[in-house]
Structure 1
Amino acid sequence: MADEEDEGGFGGLYEDGHWAWDDSTKELVFISDLPPELIEAIQIPTKAPTGAIEFRDDIDLIEQIRFRRRYQRKLKPGQPDIITIQDVKDIALYTAPVNILSPMLINVLHIPTTERFLRALILCCQYYLQIADEMANRIIELETKVRTPQGDVVESEFRNNLSDLRLLVAKEYSTMLIGGSDTKKFHHMGPNKKRQSLSDKDARLFETLLRMCVQIVWLALGRKAFNQIELEVSRVFKSEIFNSTEHRLQTNYIAKMAREEKSVLLGHCVRHDKKLNTCSPLMNEVFCHRYIDYRMMGLGVIKCTQPSPRLLYMLHAIAGSEENFSNLGIVLGIIGLQRSTFDTMLRPLPTATGGEGKSKASISSRSYSSKSTTSSSIRKSQLVSKKQYPDIVLPRKDSRIAEFPSQFPDEPEEIPPCSETQRRRWQNRLQRLLHPH
C-alpha cells in the first residue's frame, strides 16, 4: 500500500467540473467549475527564491512506484511510448521542493508558448555544450597545429548557429514578457495590462520558472553538466553582470576562455553597457545587427512560407511531435527516445548505456580551471561510448536571402495543446501537499 502513504489519497482528478467536446483537439476535455480565485488562493512564498534550490534526485523505489501510478503520463491507445517534454516536466515537478511550487507556475508550465520555450532552451543548451566541447578540443589542438582560414569559417558557422538558437529562445521569452498569446493572463499588470504592476509577484514567478527551466534542461540532457547549464542559462537571461549563479559559484569561467572560445560561445551580439542600461544577451540577439531570417520569429505560431531545411528542423524541434524526431533526424536530448530504455525517473537503464562506467573522461563536465593534455581523438572516442543521444547537426543556412514580402504571413500554425490531465494532476497534488487536512 505504498501509494497510500505520505500524500494521501489520489483525490478527485475529475471533481468539481464537467466534460465537454473540444473541436480543436477532437476529444472530450474536462472543464473545472471552480472559480479561478479558489485555486489562486493557495499562497506561495512571499519572496523570490534566492541561492541554491535543491531538487530531490534520490527518489527511492517506493516513491517511484507512487509517481508511476499517480503522476506519470498515461499512453493513449496506439500512442508510441517515447519520452516527451511533458515527461521531463513531470519529473521536475515531482522532485521540486514544495516551497517553490505554486498554482500559477504549474499553469505556466502547461501552455504551448512555455513548451516551445522549453524545447528551444533545451536545443540551445545542448548545442552550446556540444560546441563548448568542440572549441575546447580546437584550443588544445592549436598548441601543436597552425591555425588556417578554414578554421575561421567553421567557427563562424558555430557562432551563427548558436545565435540563431538563442533567438528561438528569445522570441518565446519575449512573448512571455509582454503577456502575448496564451501568456497574457499571467502578465504582472493583468490580462489587459491596465492594473498596477505586481512586480514582486512577477519576480517570484520568473525566478522560480528560470530555476525550473534549468532542472528541466538538465534532465532532458541526461543529467549532464549541471553547472555549465545553470551558468549559461543565467548568463543569457540576466547578462554577465547579473549572473547570480556565477556570483555564487565564483568560477570566473568567461575570463578563463580563450579569445576564440569567447567569440564563438558568446557571439557577436554582446553589448557592454552601464549597469542600469544592460540588456540580457537574449534581447541583444533580437536587436542584433546581423542578418536574421524574419521567418524564424514566427516559427511554431505562424505558418512559414517556403521553409528551408534549416527552418523545418527548428520548427519540428520546438513545435513538432516528439514521435517524429527519430524519422526527421532531430536531436533534443533524450526527448523522442524510447521510454522503455529509461527507468521511471528517466535515467538510462544499464542495458541501454553500453559502455557507461568504462570511461571516467567527460568533456561536457570539464573544469574551467584546467585543460586536459589528453589527445582529442581519445577523448572523443571515450565520449561517444557514454552518449545517450547523438550530436545536433543543424542544416546549413540557405545561401539565398529571404526577401521581405509585400505582406507578412498571418495564417496560424496548428498549435498542439498541452496535457490538461497532467496539469490537473499537479494542481491537485499541490493542493493536498499545502492543505493535507
Structure 2
Amino acid sequence: MLRIHRGVFVPKFCNGKWVLNEDTQTIEFEPIKDAELEKEDYVNTCGFNFRKTLNQLEELIFRQEFQRSDLTHDADVIVVQDIKNLVLFLAPSDIITKDFINFLHTFTVDRFLRALIIYFEYYLKMVEFVLIRRDEISGEKAQIQSEDTNEIKRIYSAQLTQHRLLLAREYSVIIMGENEMKPYYHITPIVNISNSIKDKRFHEAFLAFSTQVVWIAMHRRAFDYIDSEMNRLFRSEHFKLKRYAHINFTAAEANMLYGKNYRRVNYRAQNSPLIQELDHVASENLPMLWIGERKYRGTDLRIHQMELEYIVPDSQLALIDVCHGILGHPKKIYNTALNINWAAVRSQNYSEIYDPYQLIRQPALKIPNFDEEKLRKYAQKYNTYYHVRMLYERASKAVLDKWYRRDRIIEYFTTEGIINSVVVQCERELENDTYGPSVQEITDKFLERKKLLRRL
C-alpha cells in the first residue's frame, strides 16, 4: 500500500507489525513508535554533524541508488564498503567533494579503515576489562591483585600494541602521499609549498568519517571512548577537540591501554602515538609489518594468528571464528541503517553451540598463556618466498558519479522522482509488452556473474 509524499510514492506503513484482530477476524497494522526519532537527529563528530537515522523516504533512495549492488562480490554480507556507503549518505554536504569521494574509494583507505576497526575491536574489550578490574579492586569487597594478574595485563597490553602497530603502518602509507595517495598529498611537487588550509579541512573530514565508520562497525556503542581514542591517536593529548569527564584512566590503566612506547612531551615536539609506535618497534614484532604483503614463514604463533585475522576476507571471518564488529555478518539480520534486527536474529535459531557471528557468546578477551610474549623472542624466522595479493573490488565510474551528485539525486527523488518500489516495478512489468532481453544477453550476464563470484 502506497501514499504520495511530495510527488513520491512511499510505503504507507513506516514501522510496525501486522496482527490478527480477534473481534473482526481481520489483519490490522499496529505502528511502532521509533524511539530513535525522539532523540537528537545528529551526532557531532570532529565538528561535523552526521545524521543518526534515515527516514522512510531516504531509506528507499539509499537502497535504490547508493547501496552496494547485488552483482558485487559477497553482496549478502556486510563489508567495509557497506559501512562507507552508509556513512557517506549520512554525512553533511560540506565534506562531500570529488577529491574526498575518490580518496575514500581507494585500496589504501579501505585497508586503513579495516585495520582501524580491528584495532578498536580489541581496544574496547581492553577498556571493558580495565573498568571491570577497577570495580573488583575497590570498594568494601576489594580483591587483591596477584602477580599473575599483572602478567596477564602486560600480555594484553603488548597484544593491543601489536594491533596499533599495524594501524600505524596503514596510516603512514596515507600520510607519505605515495602511489595512489599522491594526488591527495598536501605539498605541491617541485615548489614544495604546503596547502595547509585545504589539508587541514581534508584531514578533519577524514577523521570524522573514520570515527563514524568505527562507531557503526562496533554496533553503535561506546561512542565517547571511540571518539576520545581517535583524538588521542591522530592528534595526541595536546590537541583533543573534546574531553570527556567520565573517561579518566589512572596512570597504570593508561600505561596498559596506550603501551610503553607512548610519550607525552612538549606540543612543539609531540608526535602522534601512531608514529611513536613506528619509531620503537621491537625486534620480535618486525615481521608483523609485512602482514598482508608477504606470507610469514616462522614459528611465532602470535604472528600467524594476526596474519590470519588480517588477510582473511570480511565475508569469511566466521570460518576462523573471529569477530570484527559487524563485518562479515549477514545483511538479512540488519536493517538498512545497519542496526541489528533482533527479531530476525531470533528466527535464525542461533545458540551457544551454533553461533558463527558471536551474537550469543559475545566477544571477549581470551586468557593468554603465561610467558607468551617472552617465548616469542626465541621464535625462528625463515626467508619469505611468497607475496600476498589482496583482492579489492573497485567502485565503477558510474557509482562515483552518483556520490558526486548525492544531494541533487536526493533532492530529485524528494520533489519529483518516483522510487522503484515493489508495487511500481510490478505495474511497469504488467505494462511492458516486450519479450525482454535476448538469450545472448542473458548468457553473457550469467557468465559475467559466475566469473565474479567464482574468482576465475
Partner of 1:114: 109
Partner of 2:213: 216
Partner of 2:388: 413
Partner of 2:318: 326
Q: Which of 33, 36, 48 is matched with 1:53 structurally?
A: 48
Q: TM-score, normalised by structure 1?
A: 0.73
Partner of 1:243: 240
| 1:303-337 Cα distance to aligned partner (Å, 9 max, x none) | 43347443344334444311210001221100011
How many angstroms does 1:402 deviate by? 7.2
| Residue identity matched to 1:170 | A
Report the Cα distance in structure 2 between the residues aligned to 1:221 and 1:393, rounded to whole angstroms.
Answer: 19
How many angstroms does 1:434 deviate by? 6.4
| Residue identity matched to 2:221 | K
Q: 1:163 to 1:111 in 2, by over 3 A?
A: same
How many angstroms does 1:120 deviate by? 1.1
Report the Cα distance in structure 2 between the residues aligned to 1:128 and 1:53, rounded to whole angstroms.
Answer: 24
Report the Cα distance in structure 2 between the residues aligned to 1:107 and 1:326, rounded to whole angstroms.
Answer: 31
Report the Cα distance in structure 1 between the residues aligned to 2:224 and 2:7, rounded to whole angstroms.
Answer: 32
Report the Cα distance in structure 2 between the residues aligned to 1:232 and 1:272, rounded to whole angstroms.
Answer: 15
Gaps in structure 2 of 5+ consecutive residues: 9-43, 347-357, 413-456
Tell me how many residue pairs correspond in the alignment: 358
Q: Which of 304, 324, 332 is matched with 2:296 structurally?
A: 304
Report the Cα distance in structure 1 between the residues aligned to 2:232 and 2:152, rounded to whole angstroms.
Answer: 24
The answer on whether the counterparts of 1:222 and 1:347 sit within 8 Å (CA) in structure 2 is yes
| Residue identity matched to 1:165 | H
Report the Cα distance in structure 1 between the residues aligned to 2:111 and 2:291, rounded to whole angstroms.
Answer: 10
The answer on whether the counterparts of 1:167 and 1:285 sit within 8 Å (CA) in structure 2 is yes
Partner of 2:201: 204
Report the Cα distance in structure 1 between the residues aligned to 2:242 and 2:389, rounded to whole angstroms.
Answer: 38
The answer on whether the counterparts of 1:331 and 1:389 sit within 8 Å (CA) in structure 2 is no
Partner of 2:81: 86
Q: 1:199 to 1:338 in 2, by over 3 A?
A: same
How many angstroms does 1:80 deviate by? 6.1
How many angstroms does 1:56 deviate by? 1.0
1:88-237 paired onto structure 2 within 5 Å: 88-143=83-138, 144-190=142-188, 195-237=192-234
| 1:25-47 Cα distance to aligned partner (Å, 9 max, x none) | xxxxxxxxxxxxxxxxxxxxxxx
Partner of 1:401: 377
Q: Which of 40, 58, 64 is matched with 1:63 structurally?
A: 58
Q: Which of 371, 382, 390 is matched with 2:363 structurally?
A: 390
Q: Identity rate of aligned residues, in percent?
A: 25
The answer on whether the counterparts of 1:55 and 1:95 sit within 8 Å (CA) in structure 2 is yes
The answer on whether the counterparts of 1:124 and 1:166 sit within 8 Å (CA) in structure 2 is yes
Gaps in structure 1 of 5+ consecutive residues: 8-48, 355-384
Farther-moved stretch of structure 1 (205-214 vs 65-74):
65-74
Q: Secondary structure at the match of 2:200?
A: helix
The root-mean-square deviation of aligned C-alpha atoms, in Å, is: 3.4
Q: 1:61 to 1:4 in 2, by over 3 A?
A: closer
The answer on whether the counterparts of 1:330 and 1:392 sit within 8 Å (CA) in structure 2 is no
1:429 aligns with 2:403: yes
Report the Cα distance in structure 1 between the residues aligned to 2:129 and 2:45, rounded to whole angstroms.
Answer: 33
Q: Secondary structure at the match of 2:405?
A: helix
Report the Cα distance in structure 1 between the residues aligned to 2:53 and 2:65, rounded to whole angstroms.
Answer: 19
Q: 1:186 to 1:107 in 2, by over 3 A?
A: same
Q: TM-score, normalised by structure 2?
A: 0.70
How many angstroms does 1:127 deviate by? 1.1
Report the Cα distance in structure 2 between the residues aligned to 1:286 and 1:242, rounded to whole angstroms.
Answer: 21
1:329-348 paired onto structure 2 within 5 Å: 329-348=321-340
The answer on whether the counterparts of 1:3 and 1:66 sit within 8 Å (CA) in structure 2 is no
How many angstroms does 1:184 deviate by? 2.2
Q: Secondary structure at the match of 2:50?
A: coil
| Greater Cα radius of gyration, structure 1 or 2 | 2
